[in-house]
Structure 1
């Protein structure tokens, strides 16, 4: 378990950051308006649904490693510290904010991937690589919208 401790700590951060991103994406889904409404409303919904499933998988990985997964909105918000977006901002600001938030998750995933590699935890490392690919694609798509 001592080798797993840094992995668990890093995974808890990934859960917190992912959950914060999920909440921010959901907020944008609810409040987006303007000419890009239909495309963004649908894209945000697809993203938050995908993140919801992923958070569950990561939390279950923490449990498989013998630790407890973090939970509770205030605890997750404090652990993440992710900047929140106001409810009433233009669509382009929402998109830029979500790109930045995805980049924060990518950084947490990188840290967890490295901790897993150091611990010889191939399963967690693979999961972090797969999640990184999803978030890198999201960043690309969000930034492409702004181009």
Structure 2
């Protein structure tokens, strides 16, 4: 006999936060895209951290470690925000790849190509997050807007630090 306690599964839940269900659903979509992009950028950043070689090894190894550790925390925060506004968070590579704009890397690029891909990925995240912040502001979800605004700043800083290595 199956234990009924273990039969629980995540579903949409009704909330009374002052944001309409349809607006929360749309925000959950934006947050899911942010989660997917952040997760794929996290994986790419960590993979480059492991595989970078050359004269920039030490600085790029350290920088990418700081960046992927920050993204690991952001991933959790984004997924929990989706749950807090009442919707299940996507949780598979398949689901992420359906909505992400950041593309995975399956080869072994040069250090310069790695850096450029990480700059591009962070800029993709920043651009998409701006749209999500506008939507969160429009519907009065200040918590989501604040969370995403903070992420924009981090992605912009990441891109700036990486671009400086290419200068």
1:61 aligns with 2:81: yes
* Aligned Cα root-mean-square deviation (Å): 1.1
8 A Cα contact 1:15 1:55, kept in partner: yes
1:134 aligns with 2:157: no
Q: Distance in 2 between matches of 1:101 and 1:41?
A: 17
**Deviation digits for residues 31-55 of structure 1 (CA, Å, limit 9, x no counterpart):** 1000110111111111111001011
What TM-score does the superposition give when structure 2 sets the normalisation length? 0.84
| Unpaired segments ≥5 residues, structure 2 | 1-20
Q: Distance in 1 between matches of 2:107 and 2:22?
A: 42
Segments of 4+ moved more than 6 angstroms: none
Instruction: State which structure, 1 or 2, has the greater radius of gyration over its C-alpha atoms.
Output: 2
Number of corresponding residues: 147
Which of 6, 10, 17 does residue 30 from structure 2 map onto?
A: 10
Q: Which has the higher contact order (CA 8 A, sep 6+)?
A: 1
Please identify, of 20-29 and 72-81, the stretch whose mean Cα deviation from structure 2 is larger: 72-81
| Unpaired segments ≥5 residues, structure 1 | none
What TM-score does the superposition give when structure 1 sets the normalisation length? 0.95
